[in-house]
Chain A
Amino acid sequence: GAVVSQHPSRVICKSGTSVKIECRSLDFQATTMFWYRQFPKQSLMLMATSNEGSKATYEQGVEKDKFLINHASLTLSTLTVTSAHPEDSSFYICSARLGASEQFFGPGTRLTVL
């Protein structure tokens, strides 16, 4: 199947700093990518839908100024957690849509804010 990668796989940062997470579709072009957040022992929560060349659509309750999403090319979307705080520590997962339907998920990025 299609492959989606994320970088970094794990990041530790100090409170107040910003962290950028990359999501790449390696062998296909994805006009739409999605970002999820998952806290320990909880389900995935959709944060936003990222469309190439346009502004992301955020789910209710997700601060767009805190979680900056850029989808500048058909194979790359980035999520920047600005001024990160310990409560932002979580597992961030992206997915990329192949064509009009199937989504493929990345391996996730573990963010720990000290």
Chain B
Amino acid sequence: LAKTTQPISMDSYEGQEVNITCSHNNIATNDYITWYQQFPSQGPRFIIQGYKTKVTNEVASLFIPADRKSSTLSLPRVSLSDTAVYYCLVGGNYGGATNKLIFGTGTLLAVQP
């Protein structure tokens, strides 16, 4: 499974757009990129998944350049409730080869008023 690198933490203010970038230089041809969100003392929650270009859902957008060696999770107009740890996973469908999810360090996003 490809290793991922993310910033340890990020700070933002309410109403701003937040972009979290993940590096995955060793991504394989059949790997997908998946992002999860985790609040303290809760299980992770699926946010978005993509393979290439851009994917958008009601929560976020995922931008993937042509070489797929990185990806950017974009959260529009964040609120205090978006304060959480965000994990980038690379592998087979939904983040892991044969669905075995290997979590990296994640990015702690702190949103301030």
Contacts and interface: CB of A to CB of B under 8 A. Distances in A.
B104 A43 contact: yes
B102 interface: yes
B100 A34 contact: yes
A106 B42 CA distance: 8
Interface in A65-114: 91, 93-95, 97, 100-108, 110
Contacts of B103: 36, 43-46
A49 B94 contact: no
B13 interface: no
**SS of A interface (majority):** strand
B99 interface: yes
A46 B98 CA distance: 14
Given A43-B87, A46-B101, A46-B102, A101 B41 contact: no
A103 B99 contact: yes
Interface residues of A, number: 25
B105 interface: yes
Nearest to B108: A41
Given A43-B87, A103-B94, A32 B99 contact: yes
Contact of B99 (A44, A94, A97, A108): A97
B104 A102 contact: no
